[in-house]
Amino acid sequence: MLDLTYETPKPKVIAGARHDWELVIGLEVHAQVASKSKLFSGASTQFGAEPNSNVAFVDAAMPGMLPVINEFCVAQAVRTGLGLNAQINLISAFDRKNYFYPDLPQGYQISQLYHPIVGEGEVIVDMGPGIARKVRIERIHLEQDAGKSIHDMDPNMSFVDLNRTGVALMEIVSRPDIRGPEEAAAYVAKLRQILRYLGTCDGNMQNGNLRADVNVSVCRPGDYEKYQETQDFNHLGTRCEIKNMNSMRFIQQGIEYEARRQIAILEDGGTVDQETRLYDPDKCETRSMRSKEEAHDYRYFPCPDLLPLEIEQTWVDDIRDSLPELPDEKKARFVAAYGMTEYDAGVLTADVESAAYFEAVAEGRDGKLAANWVINELFGRLKKEEHTISESPVSADQLGGILDLIAKGDISGKIAKDLFEIVYTQGGNPTEIVETRGMRQVTDTGAIEAAVDGVIAANPDQVEKAKANPKLAGWFVGQVMKATGGKANPKAVNEMVSRKLGLS
Protein backbone atom coordinates (compact mmCIF):
# COMPACT_ATOMS: atom_id res chain seq x y z
CA MET A 1 0.00 0.00 0.00
CA LEU A 2 2.98 2.27 0.51
CA ASP A 3 3.86 4.11 -2.67
CA LEU A 4 7.63 4.00 -2.76
CA THR A 5 8.19 5.78 -6.03
CA TYR A 6 10.12 8.93 -5.42
CA GLU A 7 12.84 10.92 -7.05
CA THR A 8 16.30 10.90 -5.49
CA PRO A 9 17.52 14.37 -4.53
CA LYS A 10 20.69 15.76 -6.09
CA PRO A 11 23.78 15.82 -3.88
CA LYS A 12 24.94 19.15 -2.55
CA VAL A 13 27.74 20.51 -4.73
CA ILE A 14 30.21 23.05 -3.39
CA ALA A 15 32.24 24.98 -5.94
CA GLY A 16 35.83 25.19 -4.77
CA ALA A 17 38.43 27.57 -6.18
CA ARG A 18 39.58 24.84 -8.59
CA HIS A 19 36.63 22.53 -9.14
CA ASP A 20 33.37 21.14 -7.82
CA TRP A 21 33.09 18.94 -4.75
CA GLU A 22 30.36 16.73 -3.35
CA LEU A 23 29.61 15.91 0.29
CA VAL A 24 29.41 12.44 1.80
CA ILE A 25 27.95 12.10 5.29
CA GLY A 26 27.34 9.20 7.68
CA LEU A 27 25.76 9.55 11.12
CA GLU A 28 26.09 7.68 14.39
CA VAL A 29 22.98 8.63 16.36
CA HIS A 30 22.81 7.93 20.09
CA ALA A 31 19.21 7.53 21.17
CA GLN A 32 18.42 7.09 24.83
CA VAL A 33 16.02 4.19 25.33
CA ALA A 34 12.73 5.36 26.84
CA SER A 35 13.04 3.11 29.89
CA LYS A 36 12.39 3.93 33.54
CA SER A 37 15.44 1.98 34.65
CA LYS A 38 18.99 1.57 33.40
CA LEU A 39 20.44 -1.04 31.03
CA PHE A 40 22.07 -3.20 33.71
CA SER A 41 20.61 -1.92 37.00
CA GLY A 42 17.27 -1.02 38.53
CA ALA A 43 18.28 2.61 39.16
CA SER A 44 15.93 5.28 37.84
CA THR A 45 16.65 7.20 34.64
CA GLN A 46 14.62 10.25 35.66
CA PHE A 47 15.99 13.43 34.09
CA GLY A 48 16.94 16.33 36.34
CA ALA A 49 17.07 14.32 39.57
CA GLU A 50 19.33 15.37 42.45
CA PRO A 51 22.95 14.57 41.39
CA ASN A 52 24.07 11.04 42.28
CA SER A 53 20.64 10.05 43.58
CA ASN A 54 19.97 7.52 40.79
CA VAL A 55 23.03 5.33 41.18
CA ALA A 56 22.95 1.60 41.90
CA PHE A 57 26.05 -0.17 43.20
CA VAL A 58 26.69 -1.63 39.77
CA ASP A 59 26.51 1.84 38.16
CA ALA A 60 29.10 3.07 40.65
CA ALA A 61 31.22 0.00 39.79
CA MET A 62 31.42 -1.26 43.35
CA PRO A 63 33.69 -4.33 43.46
CA GLY A 64 31.87 -7.60 42.94
CA MET A 65 28.72 -6.05 41.51
CA LEU A 66 27.34 -7.76 38.41
CA PRO A 67 25.27 -6.29 35.58
CA VAL A 68 21.82 -7.78 34.91
CA ILE A 69 20.33 -7.11 31.48
CA ASN A 70 17.08 -5.13 31.39
CA GLU A 71 14.65 -7.05 29.17
CA PHE A 72 12.56 -3.95 28.48
CA CYS A 73 15.57 -2.15 26.97
CA VAL A 74 16.33 -5.14 24.75
CA ALA A 75 12.71 -5.11 23.57
CA GLN A 76 12.98 -1.42 22.69
CA ALA A 77 16.09 -2.02 20.58
CA VAL A 78 14.29 -4.85 18.74
CA ARG A 79 11.22 -2.67 18.29
CA THR A 80 13.40 0.09 16.86
CA GLY A 81 15.10 -2.35 14.50
CA LEU A 82 11.74 -3.62 13.26
CA GLY A 83 10.56 -0.03 12.79
CA LEU A 84 13.59 0.59 10.57
CA ASN A 85 12.96 -2.55 8.51
CA ALA A 86 16.14 -4.02 9.90
CA GLN A 87 17.52 -7.46 10.41
CA ILE A 88 17.12 -8.61 14.04
CA ASN A 89 19.96 -10.76 15.34
CA LEU A 90 18.66 -13.52 17.61
CA ILE A 91 22.13 -13.84 19.09
CA SER A 92 24.09 -10.76 20.04
CA ALA A 93 26.79 -10.13 22.63
CA PHE A 94 28.21 -7.43 24.84
CA ASP A 95 31.82 -6.25 24.73
CA ARG A 96 33.91 -4.08 26.99
CA LYS A 97 35.22 -0.87 25.46
CA ASN A 98 38.05 0.07 27.79
CA TYR A 99 38.97 3.64 28.57
CA PHE A 100 39.49 5.73 31.65
CA TYR A 101 37.38 8.75 32.37
CA PRO A 102 36.14 10.05 35.76
CA ASP A 103 32.50 9.80 34.71
CA LEU A 104 32.95 6.13 33.80
CA PRO A 105 33.73 4.43 37.13
CA GLN A 106 33.98 0.93 35.64
CA GLY A 107 36.89 1.93 33.44
CA TYR A 108 35.03 0.48 30.46
CA GLN A 109 31.76 0.95 28.66
CA ILE A 110 29.64 -2.14 27.99
CA SER A 111 28.72 -1.99 24.30
CA GLN A 112 28.17 -4.33 21.34
CA LEU A 113 31.01 -4.14 18.82
CA TYR A 114 31.24 -7.59 17.29
CA HIS A 115 27.66 -8.81 17.48
CA PRO A 116 25.07 -6.01 17.54
CA ILE A 117 21.44 -6.82 18.26
CA VAL A 118 20.22 -5.14 15.04
CA GLY A 119 21.77 -5.41 11.57
CA GLU A 120 21.00 -3.72 8.26
CA GLY A 121 17.92 -1.54 7.84
CA GLU A 122 16.87 1.68 6.15
CA VAL A 123 15.28 5.09 6.63
CA ILE A 124 13.38 6.92 3.88
CA VAL A 125 14.35 10.57 4.28
CA ASP A 126 11.76 12.98 2.85
CA MET A 127 13.17 15.97 1.03
CA GLY A 128 9.89 17.42 -0.27
CA PRO A 129 6.80 15.94 -1.97
CA GLY A 130 7.85 13.06 -4.19
CA ILE A 131 11.54 13.47 -3.35
CA ALA A 132 13.28 11.19 -0.87
CA ARG A 133 16.60 9.52 -0.16
CA LYS A 134 16.92 5.99 1.11
CA VAL A 135 19.62 5.94 3.78
CA ARG A 136 20.89 2.53 4.75
CA ILE A 137 21.35 1.64 8.39
CA GLU A 138 24.42 -0.44 9.06
CA ARG A 139 23.62 -1.57 12.60
CA ILE A 140 22.06 -0.66 15.91
CA HIS A 141 23.74 -1.70 19.13
CA LEU A 142 22.87 -1.33 22.78
CA GLU A 143 25.35 0.34 25.12
CA GLN A 144 25.64 2.20 28.40
CA ASP A 145 25.80 5.97 28.67
CA ALA A 146 28.50 7.62 30.80
CA GLY A 147 28.01 10.07 33.67
CA LYS A 148 28.71 13.78 33.65
CA SER A 149 31.81 15.63 34.85
CA ILE A 150 31.13 19.14 36.06
CA HIS A 151 34.03 21.58 35.85
CA ASP A 152 32.29 24.92 36.24
CA MET A 153 30.90 24.75 39.78
CA ASP A 154 34.10 25.42 41.68
CA PRO A 155 37.38 27.12 40.71
CA ASN A 156 39.52 24.37 42.25
CA MET A 157 37.49 21.20 42.05
CA SER A 158 35.64 19.09 39.52
CA PHE A 159 32.50 17.15 40.37
CA VAL A 160 30.90 14.08 38.92
CA ASP A 161 27.22 13.18 38.58
CA LEU A 162 26.66 9.47 37.96
CA ASN A 163 22.88 9.66 37.41
CA ARG A 164 23.32 9.08 33.67
CA THR A 165 25.92 6.33 34.12
CA GLY A 166 24.51 3.08 32.81
CA VAL A 167 21.45 4.55 31.10
CA ALA A 168 20.63 2.50 27.97
CA LEU A 169 21.53 3.96 24.59
CA MET A 170 20.83 2.67 21.12
CA GLU A 171 23.60 3.63 18.74
CA ILE A 172 22.11 3.80 15.27
CA VAL A 173 24.86 3.81 12.63
CA SER A 174 24.05 4.89 9.08
CA ARG A 175 25.99 4.13 5.93
CA PRO A 176 27.60 7.17 4.30
CA ASP A 177 24.52 7.68 2.13
CA ILE A 178 23.65 11.25 3.13
CA ARG A 179 24.61 13.89 0.57
CA GLY A 180 24.13 17.32 2.13
CA PRO A 181 23.59 19.32 5.34
CA GLU A 182 19.81 19.58 4.87
CA GLU A 183 19.60 15.86 4.22
CA ALA A 184 21.53 15.14 7.40
CA ALA A 185 19.09 17.23 9.43
CA ALA A 186 16.13 15.64 7.63
CA TYR A 187 17.58 12.20 8.38
CA VAL A 188 17.80 12.96 12.10
CA ALA A 189 14.29 14.43 12.01
CA LYS A 190 12.87 11.33 10.29
CA LEU A 191 14.68 9.00 12.66
CA ARG A 192 13.37 10.95 15.64
CA GLN A 193 9.85 10.84 14.21
CA ILE A 194 10.01 7.06 13.80
CA LEU A 195 11.46 6.57 17.32
CA ARG A 196 8.66 8.69 18.77
CA TYR A 197 6.00 6.78 16.84
CA LEU A 198 7.52 3.57 18.20
CA GLY A 199 7.80 5.06 21.69
CA THR A 200 11.35 3.73 22.06
CA CYS A 201 13.07 7.11 22.58
CA ASP A 202 11.49 10.46 23.44
CA GLY A 203 13.84 12.24 21.04
CA ASN A 204 14.35 15.26 23.27
CA MET A 205 17.54 16.74 21.81
CA GLN A 206 17.82 19.52 24.38
CA ASN A 207 18.07 16.98 27.19
CA GLY A 208 20.61 15.06 25.14
CA ASN A 209 18.26 12.10 24.65
CA LEU A 210 19.12 12.12 20.97
CA ARG A 211 22.55 13.22 19.78
CA ALA A 212 24.62 12.56 16.71
CA ASP A 213 28.25 12.06 15.77
CA VAL A 214 28.46 13.41 12.23
CA ASN A 215 31.06 11.99 9.80
CA VAL A 216 31.86 14.26 6.87
CA SER A 217 34.08 13.82 3.82
CA VAL A 218 34.24 15.42 0.38
CA CYS A 219 34.83 13.82 -3.01
CA ARG A 220 34.86 14.74 -6.70
CA PRO A 221 31.65 14.30 -8.73
CA GLY A 222 31.37 10.69 -9.90
CA ASP A 223 33.39 9.19 -7.05
CA TYR A 224 30.38 8.52 -4.86
CA GLU A 225 28.71 6.55 -7.67
CA LYS A 226 31.88 4.40 -7.89
CA TYR A 227 31.66 3.80 -4.15
CA GLN A 228 27.98 2.80 -4.46
CA GLU A 229 28.81 0.31 -7.21
CA THR A 230 31.71 -1.30 -5.39
CA GLN A 231 31.10 -0.39 -1.71
CA ASP A 232 34.82 0.38 -1.74
CA PHE A 233 35.51 3.24 0.68
CA ASN A 234 38.72 4.09 -1.22
CA HIS A 235 36.58 6.01 -3.71
CA LEU A 236 35.58 8.37 -0.90
CA GLY A 237 37.62 11.05 0.81
CA THR A 238 39.03 10.86 4.32
CA ARG A 239 36.34 11.69 6.86
CA CYS A 240 36.30 13.76 10.03
CA GLU A 241 33.85 13.09 12.80
CA ILE A 242 32.05 15.96 14.54
CA LYS A 243 31.12 14.69 18.00
CA ASN A 244 27.96 15.02 20.06
CA MET A 245 25.69 17.29 18.06
CA ASN A 246 22.30 17.90 19.66
CA SER A 247 20.70 20.52 17.44
CA MET A 248 19.47 20.28 13.85
CA ARG A 249 20.80 23.75 13.12
CA PHE A 250 24.27 23.01 14.46
CA ILE A 251 24.39 19.75 12.51
CA GLN A 252 23.82 21.68 9.28
CA GLN A 253 26.22 24.49 10.14
CA GLY A 254 28.90 22.07 11.32
CA ILE A 255 28.73 20.01 8.11
CA GLU A 256 28.85 23.10 5.91
CA TYR A 257 31.89 24.47 7.75
CA GLU A 258 33.65 21.13 7.85
CA ALA A 259 33.15 20.46 4.12
CA ARG A 260 34.56 23.88 3.20
CA ARG A 261 37.51 23.39 5.54
CA GLN A 262 38.35 20.05 3.89
CA ILE A 263 37.94 21.46 0.37
CA ALA A 264 40.35 24.32 1.17
CA ILE A 265 42.95 21.84 2.44
CA LEU A 266 42.58 19.54 -0.59
CA GLU A 267 42.69 22.34 -3.16
CA ASP A 268 45.82 23.61 -1.45
CA GLY A 269 47.44 20.23 -2.18
CA GLY A 270 47.14 19.03 1.40
CA THR A 271 45.52 15.94 2.86
CA VAL A 272 42.66 15.69 5.34
CA ASP A 273 43.63 14.06 8.62
CA GLN A 274 41.10 11.59 9.97
CA GLU A 275 40.22 13.10 13.31
CA THR A 276 37.52 13.79 15.83
CA ARG A 277 36.37 17.41 15.94
CA LEU A 278 34.07 19.52 18.07
CA TYR A 279 31.64 22.11 16.77
CA ASP A 280 31.74 25.53 18.40
CA PRO A 281 28.32 27.14 17.82
CA ASP A 282 29.55 30.59 18.93
CA LYS A 283 32.25 30.72 16.28
CA CYS A 284 30.35 28.50 13.80
CA GLU A 285 33.45 26.37 13.26
CA THR A 286 34.81 22.93 14.08
CA ARG A 287 38.11 22.38 15.83
CA SER A 288 40.26 19.37 16.42
CA MET A 289 39.62 17.28 19.55
CA ARG A 290 41.91 14.35 18.83
CA SER A 291 43.68 13.00 15.77
CA LYS A 292 43.78 9.40 14.57
CA GLU A 293 47.19 8.95 16.21
CA GLU A 294 45.72 9.93 19.54
CA ALA A 295 42.70 7.70 18.97
CA HIS A 296 41.92 5.44 21.88
CA ASP A 297 42.86 1.81 21.65
CA TYR A 298 39.80 0.49 23.38
CA ARG A 299 41.00 -3.12 23.65
CA TYR A 300 37.52 -4.40 23.05
CA PHE A 301 36.85 -7.88 24.39
CA PRO A 302 33.69 -9.89 25.18
CA CYS A 303 32.28 -8.85 28.55
CA PRO A 304 32.83 -11.83 30.86
CA ASP A 305 30.03 -10.70 33.18
CA LEU A 306 27.29 -11.18 30.60
CA LEU A 307 26.23 -14.25 28.64
CA PRO A 308 25.60 -13.78 24.94
CA LEU A 309 22.11 -12.40 24.49
CA GLU A 310 19.78 -14.94 22.94
CA ILE A 311 16.26 -13.98 22.01
CA GLU A 312 13.41 -16.07 20.58
CA GLN A 313 11.94 -15.53 17.12
CA THR A 314 8.43 -15.75 18.64
CA TRP A 315 9.29 -12.91 21.02
CA VAL A 316 10.48 -10.83 18.04
CA ASP A 317 7.29 -11.71 16.16
CA ASP A 318 5.17 -10.57 19.12
CA ILE A 319 6.98 -7.24 19.12
CA ARG A 320 6.46 -6.96 15.36
CA ASP A 321 2.73 -7.59 15.83
CA SER A 322 2.55 -4.75 18.34
CA LEU A 323 4.16 -2.16 16.05
CA PRO A 324 2.00 0.90 15.39
CA GLU A 325 1.33 2.28 11.93
CA LEU A 326 4.55 4.17 11.09
CA PRO A 327 4.89 7.64 9.50
CA ASP A 328 5.41 6.54 5.87
CA GLU A 329 2.44 4.16 5.95
CA LYS A 330 0.23 6.66 7.70
CA LYS A 331 1.13 9.37 5.21
CA ALA A 332 0.38 7.11 2.23
CA ARG A 333 -2.94 6.10 3.81
CA PHE A 334 -3.95 9.73 4.43
CA VAL A 335 -3.23 10.62 0.80
CA ALA A 336 -5.26 7.65 -0.45
CA ALA A 337 -8.13 7.75 2.04
CA TYR A 338 -8.75 11.48 2.33
CA GLY A 339 -7.57 12.68 -1.08
CA MET A 340 -5.19 15.20 0.44
CA THR A 341 -1.81 16.29 -0.92
CA GLU A 342 1.37 14.55 0.18
CA TYR A 343 2.43 17.82 1.76
CA ASP A 344 -0.73 18.05 3.91
CA ALA A 345 -0.44 14.37 4.81
CA GLY A 346 3.13 15.04 5.92
CA VAL A 347 2.00 17.89 8.16
CA LEU A 348 -0.81 15.83 9.72
CA THR A 349 1.39 12.79 10.37
CA ALA A 350 4.34 14.74 11.80
CA ASP A 351 3.53 13.20 15.17
CA VAL A 352 1.11 10.56 16.41
CA GLU A 353 -0.96 13.05 18.41
CA SER A 354 -1.63 15.35 15.42
CA ALA A 355 -2.58 12.39 13.24
CA ALA A 356 -4.96 11.01 15.88
CA TYR A 357 -6.53 14.43 16.36
CA PHE A 358 -7.11 14.80 12.62
CA GLU A 359 -8.62 11.34 12.30
CA ALA A 360 -11.01 12.05 15.17
CA VAL A 361 -12.15 15.23 13.40
CA ALA A 362 -12.36 13.55 9.98
CA GLU A 363 -14.32 10.51 11.17
CA GLY A 364 -17.69 10.53 9.38
CA ARG A 365 -16.99 13.97 7.87
CA ASP A 366 -15.46 15.47 4.73
CA GLY A 367 -11.77 14.57 5.05
CA LYS A 368 -10.49 17.40 2.87
CA LEU A 369 -12.48 20.00 4.81
CA ALA A 370 -11.26 18.48 8.07
CA ALA A 371 -7.62 18.58 6.87
CA ASN A 372 -8.03 22.18 5.82
CA TRP A 373 -9.42 23.23 9.18
CA VAL A 374 -6.94 21.27 11.27
CA ILE A 375 -3.91 22.54 9.31
CA ASN A 376 -4.87 26.12 8.50
CA GLU A 377 -7.03 27.17 11.40
CA LEU A 378 -6.01 25.00 14.34
CA PHE A 379 -2.28 24.39 13.66
CA GLY A 380 -1.88 28.00 12.51
CA ARG A 381 -3.42 29.25 15.75
CA LEU A 382 -1.47 26.80 17.95
CA LYS A 383 1.79 27.73 16.28
CA LYS A 384 1.20 31.41 16.90
CA GLU A 385 0.99 30.72 20.63
CA GLU A 386 3.69 28.05 20.60
CA HIS A 387 1.30 25.36 21.80
CA THR A 388 1.48 21.69 20.92
CA ILE A 389 -1.54 19.71 19.73
CA SER A 390 -1.89 18.13 23.20
CA GLU A 391 -2.34 21.64 24.62
CA SER A 392 -5.03 22.55 22.09
CA PRO A 393 -7.91 24.40 23.77
CA VAL A 394 -10.21 23.12 21.01
CA SER A 395 -10.91 19.39 21.22
CA ALA A 396 -11.45 17.20 18.15
CA ASP A 397 -15.11 16.96 19.20
CA GLN A 398 -15.50 20.71 19.27
CA LEU A 399 -13.82 21.23 15.90
CA GLY A 400 -15.92 18.38 14.47
CA GLY A 401 -19.01 20.17 15.82
CA ILE A 402 -18.05 23.33 13.92
CA LEU A 403 -17.59 21.33 10.70
CA ASP A 404 -21.03 19.73 11.19
CA LEU A 405 -22.62 23.16 11.45
CA ILE A 406 -20.96 24.16 8.16
CA ALA A 407 -22.05 20.91 6.50
CA LYS A 408 -25.68 21.40 7.60
CA GLY A 409 -25.65 24.94 6.23
CA ASP A 410 -26.28 26.37 9.70
CA ILE A 411 -23.27 28.66 9.46
CA SER A 412 -21.17 29.97 6.59
CA GLY A 413 -17.43 29.37 6.33
CA LYS A 414 -16.82 32.93 7.42
CA ILE A 415 -19.02 32.71 10.51
CA ALA A 416 -17.34 29.36 11.24
CA LYS A 417 -14.04 31.21 11.63
CA ASP A 418 -15.60 33.57 14.16
CA LEU A 419 -17.12 30.59 15.94
CA PHE A 420 -13.73 28.83 15.98
CA GLU A 421 -12.18 31.90 17.57
CA ILE A 422 -14.85 31.91 20.30
CA VAL A 423 -14.40 28.21 21.01
CA TYR A 424 -10.60 28.61 21.01
CA THR A 425 -10.57 31.49 23.48
CA GLN A 426 -13.66 30.77 25.60
CA GLY A 427 -14.50 27.12 25.09
CA GLY A 428 -18.07 25.83 24.86
CA ASN A 429 -20.29 23.70 22.68
CA PRO A 430 -20.32 25.08 19.09
CA THR A 431 -24.03 24.35 18.49
CA GLU A 432 -25.06 26.08 21.70
CA ILE A 433 -22.85 29.08 20.97
CA VAL A 434 -24.46 29.46 17.54
CA GLU A 435 -27.93 29.37 19.12
CA THR A 436 -27.29 31.69 22.07
CA ARG A 437 -25.34 34.22 20.03
CA GLY A 438 -27.73 34.15 17.08
CA MET A 439 -25.00 33.18 14.63
CA ARG A 440 -27.16 30.85 12.62
CA GLN A 441 -27.06 31.52 8.90
CA VAL A 442 -30.16 33.14 7.41
CA THR A 443 -31.49 30.80 4.75
CA ASP A 444 -35.00 32.15 5.04
CA THR A 445 -35.61 33.51 1.53
CA GLY A 446 -38.09 36.10 2.77
CA ALA A 447 -35.47 37.75 5.00
CA ILE A 448 -32.81 37.57 2.29
CA GLU A 449 -35.18 38.97 -0.30
CA ALA A 450 -35.99 41.92 1.95
CA ALA A 451 -32.30 42.67 2.43
CA VAL A 452 -31.59 42.41 -1.33
CA ASP A 453 -34.54 44.65 -2.17
CA GLY A 454 -33.30 47.20 0.37
CA VAL A 455 -29.81 47.37 -1.12
CA ILE A 456 -31.15 47.58 -4.70
CA ALA A 457 -33.59 50.35 -3.83
CA ALA A 458 -30.87 52.39 -2.14
CA ASN A 459 -28.38 52.14 -5.01
CA PRO A 460 -30.01 52.83 -8.39
CA ASP A 461 -26.70 53.91 -10.03
CA GLN A 462 -25.00 50.67 -9.10
CA VAL A 463 -27.97 48.75 -10.46
CA GLU A 464 -27.53 50.35 -13.90
CA LYS A 465 -23.80 49.58 -13.87
CA ALA A 466 -24.33 45.98 -12.81
CA LYS A 467 -26.88 45.40 -15.53
CA ALA A 468 -24.26 46.52 -18.08
CA ASN A 469 -21.46 44.59 -16.38
CA PRO A 470 -22.68 41.46 -14.51
CA LYS A 471 -19.34 41.16 -12.73
CA LEU A 472 -20.42 44.03 -10.49
CA ALA A 473 -23.19 41.89 -8.99
CA GLY A 474 -20.64 40.80 -6.42
CA TRP A 475 -20.81 44.26 -4.89
CA PHE A 476 -24.51 43.71 -4.09
CA VAL A 477 -23.76 40.34 -2.53
CA GLY A 478 -21.19 42.04 -0.28
CA GLN A 479 -23.67 44.74 0.74
CA VAL A 480 -26.36 42.18 1.58
CA MET A 481 -23.90 40.16 3.64
CA LYS A 482 -22.97 43.32 5.50
CA ALA A 483 -26.63 44.18 6.08
CA THR A 484 -27.29 40.72 7.54
CA GLY A 485 -24.21 40.71 9.77
CA GLY A 486 -22.58 38.04 7.61
CA LYS A 487 -25.26 35.54 8.50
CA ALA A 488 -27.06 35.29 5.17
CA ASN A 489 -26.43 32.12 3.22
CA PRO A 490 -24.01 33.38 0.52
CA LYS A 491 -25.33 30.98 -2.11
CA ALA A 492 -28.92 32.10 -1.55
CA VAL A 493 -27.87 35.75 -1.66
CA ASN A 494 -25.99 35.22 -4.91
CA GLU A 495 -28.97 33.64 -6.58
CA MET A 496 -31.37 36.27 -5.30
CA VAL A 497 -29.14 39.18 -6.44
CA SER A 498 -28.74 37.69 -9.93
CA ARG A 499 -32.45 37.17 -10.26
CA LYS A 500 -33.42 40.63 -9.01
CA LEU A 501 -30.92 42.32 -11.32
CA GLY A 502 -32.25 40.28 -14.18
CA LEU A 503 -28.90 38.61 -14.75
CA SER A 504 -30.16 35.04 -14.63
Interface residue list for ligand ADP (CB under 6 A): 24-28, 173-176, 215-217, 233, 236-237, 239
Q: Which is nearer to ligand ADP, 217 or 441 (CB)?
A: 217
Tell me whether residue 4 is exposed, middle or buried, using C-beta atoms within 10 angstroms of its C-beta: 0 to 12, 13 to 18, 19 or more: exposed
Which residue in the shown chain puts its C-beta closest to ligand ADP? 26
Bridge partners (DSSP) of residue 118 are 88, 140
Residue 264 or 307 having the CB closest to ligand ADP: 264
State the DSSP string of 312-324.
-HHHHHHHHHTPP
* Closest distance to ligand ADP from the beta carbon of 238 (Å): 7
Cβ atoms of 440 and 482 closer than 8 Å: no
Provide the 10 A C-beta neighbour count for residue 43: 23
- In the complex, minimum distance from the CB of residue 24 to ligand ADP, in angstroms, rounded to a whole number: 4
Question: 38 or 190: whose CB is closer to ligand ADP?
Answer: 190
Please say which residue, 39 or 236, places its beta carbon nearer to ligand ADP. Answer: 236
**At its nearest, how many Å lie between ligand ADP and the CB of residue 132?**
19
Exposed/middle/buried for residue 47 (C-beta within 10 Å: 0-12, 13-18, 19+)? middle
DSSP state of 376: I
Sign (positive or negative) of CA dihedral 305, 308, 311, 316: positive
Nearer CB in complex with ligand ADP: 266/497:
266
Nearest approach, Cβ of residue 264 and ligand ADP (Å): 17
The CB-of-25 to ligand ADP minimum distance in angstroms stands at 6
Residues 472, 503 contacting (CB under 8 angstroms): no
Residue 213 vs 342, nearer CB to ligand ADP = 213
Classify burial at 137, counting beta carbons within 10 Å of its beta carbon; exposed 0-12, middle 13-18, buried 19 or more: buried
Alpha-carbon gap, residue 225 to 228, rounded angstroms = 5
CA pair distance 422, 384, nearest whole angstrom: 16
Q: What does DSSP assign to residue 101?
A: B
Nearest CB to ligand ADP, comparing residues 23 and 434:
23
Residue 411 and residue 443: Cα distance in Å, rounded?
A: 10
Q: For ligand ADP, give the closer residue by CB, 175 or 387.
A: 175
Cα end-to-end distance, the chain, whole Å: 48
Distance in Å, CB of 28 to ligand ADP, minimum: 5
CA-CA distance, 341 to 436, in Å (whole number)? 38
Is residue 31 helix, strand or coil?
strand
Categorise residue 128: left if φ over 0, alpha if ψ from -120 to 50, beta otherwise. left
Closer of 190 and 331 to ligand ADP (Cβ): 190
Least separation in angstroms between residue 87's CB and ligand ADP is 17
DSSP string, 353-387: HHHHHHHHHHTTS-HHHHHHIIIIIIIHHHHHTT-
